[in-house]
Chain A
Amino acid sequence: MIHFLVSVKQVPDTTNIRIDPETGSMIRKGVPAILNPYDAHAVASAAEWKKKLGGKLTVITMGPPAAEEALQECIEMGADRAVLISDRAFAGSDTLATSYVLAEAIRKIDQEDHIDLVFFGKQAIDGDTAQVGPGAAIRLGLPLVTYAVEIKEVNQEEGYAVIVRKTESGKEIIKTILPAALTAEKAIAEIPYAALPDLIASLNFKPEVWSATEPVAYDVDQIGLGGSPTMVAKSGSPEAREPAETINVQEHGVSATVETVLGKMLSNTTVAALLEDLK
């Protein structure tokens, strides 16, 4: 039976973040936590293939207890097993430490129940680093296909998959030996409507919770703040700039506004030279 595993993350919905106009700092309160969108599409793709081939879908996440909600969403999409890796000892983990935690968990699951294909989202929308997937894959020694937009074929019997990835200049069709890992673009699958049995399953859902010691005994020197080579030296909100001069169409009329605008633009030497070249 084929076994897919998707590693997901719960993130603050960055499109809904507001900035306190007085302090200039981020207001975390009231920002909804969501399943990272790229991960949701990865789960949808894995669920699709599970349905097609008959098999098993496991999801894992590292995060606080509340990250259980993200896993619940995965169950609604058709995941069979969900593991929440949660321990205070993991707090402050950077991408290197995170890739260690996830890779060891995947290794553990794989020992009990062989995994054929590991999915990650392309990146998480809070950090946008896109580092954890490639990091975990190399720790596991898995061939990696990043920016996957389509899975054309999964052939467990012959031990290969054909995956399409998006690059800057086009699309690459990659044939990889299984087991393998991929990082998913949203295009990899549409988010489905939950099927009734999956919805029911999610109602009674409780994830397995793994700590830093059980069932994987993590090396404390490789997790949390201590296991993270990078640290935030300082942080703040982006510099505010003075608003530009504006011309209002309602006051001046369209024709006069545009005339003024073009005049002002042409008084800038860079723009003037650009427009001169066009003639």
Chain B
Amino acid sequence: MTRRFWVFIEQDHGEMHPVAAELLGVANCLVSEVADELKANDEEAVVEGILVGHDVDNVAKEALMYGAERIYQVDDPAFEHYLNRPYAEALTHLVKKYKPEVFLIGATTLGRDLAGAVATSLKTGLTADCTKLEMGPFRKIEKKLLLATRPAFGGNVIATIVCKDRTPQMATVRPRVFETPVRNPKAKGEVVKEDFKVTPVMMAANLVEFIKDKSTSLNLEYADVIVSGGKGLGNSKGFELIKELADELGGVVGSSRAAVDGGWIDYAHQVGQTGKHVRPKLYVACGISGAIQHKVGMQDSDYILAINTDPLAPIFEVASLGVVGDLYEVIPEMIQQLRAQKGASA
């Protein structure tokens, strides 16, 4: 028997979403965690990608390079734009046909919309927004299960969820929770084209128009440097200073939930459990106290500098270095010294 570990290959008009690569990396880790079982039972396990769209041959090739052994591809003009119903039906059809053991989907806007519908159709368990995935023993169940760990109650509780007697065991994972695996341009694999008929009843909701955002260039999740502002800014104007420092460091502007709730900045900038999960090389937290819900979204950053007037602020628990002081004094000085350094080396 073949144990199938599936990853939904999210794409947008022919471009693969980076979360698909991250999930292929995780799926390969999960397979290695059941190596002992495979050996003992003389079984094999494969990582396979599920791709739905129109004109997406290149996406299939890309997914193979990130560690899928095989891609099942459904290609039809009806799938050009994402719609819940036809996509959900296509995935449900493929799951029933191939019976995967595990099915991972990116917790993007699209993936969250899709996963709930697919899991319900299949009457199986789904764990949302996982921050850790592993295959491990659970009670006396013979086979290892997917142990899906996620924050709940605004990040105040960390829970590990299992789906004990149904398959596939489904989970969604936020972009950037896991690292991108190495791309192997020489990777070989198989692309299996699947037939799936879209019926009119699936198209009851239809896209009339798409209006592209001005702020899509933000790309918070994949930025190398993020300078974030929180409640400590005191007002929306404070974000001008944050932007200045971000520009100086070649980064983008992030924020805490408090700043978004206060109406100081758009939700697109929010870092945290209910915002974006980020792992930049440098994260500067300015006037952010460090509520758990914020910390779970940024604690994987390589280097965290925190600036806060309160020496007991929880943000210092995840920081690499902390400054206890007024951000309105510290940031301008920082900008000045950074400029002076640049000037000196020019």
Contacts and interface: CB of A to CB of B under 8 A. Distances in A.
Interface in B101-123: 108-110, 112-117, 119-121, 123
A4 to B, nearest CB: 17
A195 interface: no
Contact of B274 (A26, A128, A262, A278): A128
A204 B211 CA distance: 46
A17 B126 CA distance: 26
Contacts of A169: 12, 212-213, 216
A92 interface: no
A235 B159 contact: yes
Interface stretch (A40-48, A66-74, A78-86, A170-178): A170-178
Nearest to B308: A246
A71 B172 CA distance: 31
A228 B166 CA distance: 10
Nearest to A248: B324
B125 interface: yes
Nearest to B248: A278
Contacts of A238: 151, 155-156, 158, 292, 295-296
B158 A12 contact: no
A138 interface: yes
Given A128-B129, A180-B205, A259-B337, A245 B164 contact: no
B293 to A, nearest CB: 8
A274 interface: yes
A136 B320 CA distance: 44
Contacts of A171: 210-211, 213
Given A15-B154, A19-B156, A231-B162, A274 B117 contact: no
B94 to A, nearest CB: 16
Contacts of B117: 134-135, 137-138, 144
A62 interface: no
Interface stretch (A50-58, A94-102, A110-118, A206-214): A94-102
Given A177-B204, A232-B159, A254 B325 contact: yes
Contact of B85 (A135, A144, A229): A144
B205 A271 contact: no
Given A96-B120, A244-B319, A170 B216 contact: yes
Nearest to A238: B158
Given A96-B120, A229-B124, A245 B322 contact: yes
A170 to B, nearest CB: 4
Contacts of A247: 321-324
B125 A176 contact: no
Contact of A262 (B127, B281, B338): B338
A132 B126 CA distance: 11
Interface residues of B, number: 92
B303 A268 contact: yes
B163 A249 contact: no
A156 interface: no
Interface in B128-163: 128-129, 138, 147, 151-163
B304 to A, nearest CB: 8
Interface in B297-326: 302-306, 311, 316-326
A64 interface: no
A130 B105 CA distance: 14
B208 A175 contact: yes
A126 B153 contact: yes
B160 A234 contact: yes
B127 A230 contact: yes
Nearest to A262: B337
A23 interface: no
Contacts of B161: 230-233
A96 B120 CA distance: 6
- Residue among A26, A143, A229 having the largest count of chain B Cβ atoms under 10 Å: A229
A241 interface: yes
Nearest to B345: A279
B111 to A, nearest CB: 10
Contacts of A130: 112, 116, 128
Contact of B147 (A174, A233, A243, A257): A233
Given A243-B316, A250-B325, A274 B110 contact: no
B153 A172 contact: no
B1 interface: no
B41 interface: no
Contacts of A146: 84, 109, 112-113
A248 B113 contact: no
A170 B324 contact: no
Given A143-B205, A271-B282, A249 B325 contact: yes
B88 interface: yes
Given A258-B333, A259-B337, A249 B323 contact: yes
A261 B224 CA distance: 19
30 contacts: A14-B156, A94-B125, A95-B126, A130-B112, A133-B116, A146-B84, A146-B112, A147-B109, A169-B212, A170-B210, A172-B209, A172-B211, A173-B207, A230-B163, A232-B161, A235-B152, A235-B160, A236-B158, A237-B157, A242-B317, A243-B317, A245-B322, A246-B324, A248-B324, A249-B329, A254-B325, A257-B333, A270-B302, A271-B302, A274-B281
- 5 nearest A-B residue pairs (beta carbon): A249-B325, A134-B116, A14-B154, A229-B125, A246-B322
